[in-house]
A and B are shown apart, each in its own frame.
Chain A
Amino acid sequence: MPFPNAVKRGIPLALVVALIVLPVIDPTSQVMLMLALAKGLAVLGVIVLLQAGQVSFGHALYFAVAAYTAAFVGKATGGGEIIVTLLAGVLAAAVVSVVVGIFVVRYRHIFFGMLNLAVSMIFFSFLEKFYFITGGSDGLSVARPTVLGLSLERGAFEGVLYYGTLGLSLVALFLTHRFLSSPIGQMLRAIKTNEVRLEYLGVSPRSVLLVGYVVSAVLCGLGGALMATAQGIVTPEYAWWIRSGEFVFIAILGGAGSVSGAFAGAFVYEAVKTYAAAFAADIWQMILGTVLLLVILFAPTGLVGLYRSAVTRGDDIDAGAPDRRKREAVS
């Protein structure tokens, strides 16, 4: 029995409404949802690169660069204004990604992945060793910034930050979807299938990948700056390789071919992590690993793929259906 179109369109809307209402019904869930949104933004960045068939094992670099920049700007301005600290973090991630990107976009596949990892680990070491600047392994505290000039109490600030992050995530989701649907986004996807033809269209595949790389770093940076603001502290762990691996893990869990997979994966990941840690403190990593194994074995298109196959089950498969599904794959 196929789902009516109104139901298919209504499900994503219902999920957004749930994200708005849930912290009101259960205030304890807000922290978990906030972390999921921040990580979802970073995973969205990883998914942009996955469209080109490239996996970065070092995108925590941009998460950390933006987080530390937000912390430094906040410290230098006595807390600062949230718009300024977030913009500064994102800008720093963009600038660093241009410099690193010019170098790494010359490589593909495992070399691309490992070079990103290497750069992120250099930054991790810098954060650990230059403690007089970065606070070393203790990290830096992030002062609570003002919001449009207003100093808010903790509860109000966290509420504003959560709903602001939700809004930013929806905007980022929409813009990333439009970017990947655009000519340059389609060329990014074409890197995966035929770089030679791309070159013979008069396009530099390296330049296209660099654009995708910077977009992906900006998204990671936004996630990192929001995470730092929410947690009130940044540590070198933001740049650690496990953080980068976590982003790739969530992308696969949610569905690497889909922008909505970033947030689907992030919410399930954070929920499993939070509740598994609470109820099975010694084996929560094993539970997460098992979830990922099951997804890879039985749902290689991730949670979004599972959702799509559930809602389209029973639909007529006409001649245009495969193409239609493919076009929808980035939505």
Chain B
Amino acid sequence: MSGAVLLEAKDLEIRFGGVVAASGINIKIHEGRKLAIIGPNGAGKTTFLNMCTGYLKPQAGHILFNGQDVTGIAPRKLVRKGVARAFQIPQLFAEHTVIENLLMAGTAEARNWAPLTPIERVTQRAQMEHLLDLTKCSDLAQRSVSELPEGQRKLVDIALALALKPRLLFMDEPTSGVASSEKFEILDIIAGALEEARVTPVFVEHDMGIVDRFADEVAVWNRGEVLFRGAPDEVLNHPDVIRDVIGEEL
């Protein structure tokens, strides 16, 4: 394993009524290693993301980020510590343009409220334009996000998260809803942006082709537990994973 432990989950448990969504989850996320989380629907993958990003509070267990206990703290406080999130359905400000979305993120990160300065004139503009360059969205800067196709909305969602200068980024199915022909192109853009921003990604994914291409490690979830963890070729060729998660060989 390369890199220090960035986030550690210890004995995480959460239930929704009779459904066990996390049952004694123990996992360490290492800086600089791209971790993919795979598993069947209802395995508890998104629940894990929700707990790690403050959306859900675990009923038992602890989450340590950078050695500090961050269990159950509010998302905004986690963001300030360096944990960001991109969503399965991009969470953007629909009445704003792409650059305005980014500028809100940039000024939020810098705590630059500037109550009488028009947002387009704030000092973070150059940085945000650089992020749009990184995510190949420069041409979209003045477009309203509500007009964009899903793939571009995904890229803007990632750019918003990167504007917060995180160390760790959780992504929930970064290419879901994107046409098959565009998935790898979008993924390559995301990978390039993450590398340049030196952000460690953890992503939930159902497309094993993407996992194989992008991940350094794969963790397999089922029924709220981590079943396996290892290198992509090792995990994706494991007979149990093929039977329970993939359903067929790559």
Contact = CB atoms under 8 A, between A and B. Distances in A.
Contacts of B100: 186
A199 B97 CA distance: 19
Contact of B115 (A182, A201, A320): A182
Contact of A322 (B80, B92, B116, B144): B144
Contact of A186 (B53, B96, B116): B96
A202 B113 contact: no
Which of the listed residues A182, A189, A192, A211 has the most CB atoms from chain B within 10 Å of its own CB?
A182
Contact of A200 (B91, B103, B107, B115): B91
B95 A200 contact: no
B237 interface: no
Contacts of B79: 200-202
Interface in B50-82: 53, 74-77, 79-80
A204 interface: yes
Contacts of B94: 193-194
B164 interface: yes
A181 B91 contact: no
A314 interface: no
A178 B93 CA distance: 20
Contacts of A327: 97
Contact of A193 (B85, B93, B109, B118): B93
B119 A186 contact: yes
Given A178-B118, A183-B119, A193-B94, A202 B144 contact: no
A179 B112 contact: no
B79 to A, nearest CB: 4
A326 B112 contact: no
A282 interface: no
A202 B85 CA distance: 11
Given A200-B85, A202-B109, A179 B115 contact: yes
B113 A183 contact: yes
B86 to A, nearest CB: 9
A196 interface: yes
Given A202-B80, A204-B76, A197 B160 contact: yes
B114 interface: yes
Given A183-B122, A194-B92, A200 B116 contact: no
B53 to A, nearest CB: 7
B84 interface: yes
B21 interface: no
A329 to B, nearest CB: 9
A196 B160 CA distance: 13
A183 B114 contact: yes
A203 interface: yes
Contacts of B161: 200
A201 B110 CA distance: 11
Given A182-B119, A183-B108, 12 more contacts: A175-B116, A178-B116, A178-B118, A181-B118, A182-B115, A190-B96, A193-B95, A196-B91, A200-B75, A201-B108, A204-B76, A323-B143
25 contacts: A175-B116, A182-B116, A182-B118, A183-B112, A183-B119, A183-B122, A186-B119, A189-B93, A189-B96, A190-B96, A193-B96, A194-B94, A197-B93, A199-B75, A200-B76, A200-B79, A200-B84, A201-B79, A201-B105, A202-B77, A203-B76, A211-B115, A322-B144, A326-B97, A327-B97
